[in-house]
Homo-oligomer: A and B are copies of this chain.
Amino acid sequence: MIKYPNMKKTQPQKTQYTNTRGLNLEKDINDSNAYYNAINRAVIYKKPTPINVVRVQYEKRSVAKIIEAYYQQASTTDYNGVYRGKAIDFEAKETKSKKEFRLDLIHAHQIKHLASVLKQGAIAFIVVRFITLNNTYLLDAKIVIDYYNQKNIKAIPIEVFEEKGGVITEGFTPRLKYLDVVDDLYFGGGQNEKK
């Protein structure tokens, strides 16, 4: 198997015992980003999980061993970077539902963050995998925010992902060809010169 120079970068994430829901999707995205990075198509990373370190032990002068720490809730989305000159920012979620994406799966601060980066001109979206259907979609953040802000609306129907989003095709390299959907939705299907 091909070794991507920055495959290592995804390993810290894998070894962290964070909420395991979405870990498969996370791994797929991390691997895809490592591939995109390796072929110079995009530079997109998952942000490390913020951890509040309380106590550190220095066994050797050089090695700091953390002996008490706690996971913190991220203030932003999980992924960001740059692609075709634009800032990219997105969140990835998995759901077992076959018909909708429950909005309580996204935190209020993530909605706020997506709105802020949209305002600054970033390309922002969510990637949602419907595990049971084994379908993964990309949906623009603006649509997600509009649904989120509507009273009495608790979920985004899968039809919205079908009609206004894009299906992310899966393969070997990259595992999730999500930048092809970004090309279609945000660059009029134009292909990246660097591809």
Q: Which residues does A use to contact B, with CB under 8 Å?
A: 6, 8-9, 11-12, 15-17, 37, 40, 42-43, 45, 47-54, 56, 63-72, 74-76, 80-89, 113, 116-117, 119-122, 194
Contact = CB atoms under 8 A, between A and B. Distances in A.
A12 B87 contact: no
Given A64-B71, A66-B71, A84-B121, A15 B52 contact: yes
- The A interface is mostly helix, strand or loop, or mixed, namely mixed
B116 A40 contact: yes
A112 to B, nearest CB: 8
A9 B54 CA distance: 16
A123 to B, nearest CB: 9
Contacts of A70: 63-66
A66 B69 contact: yes
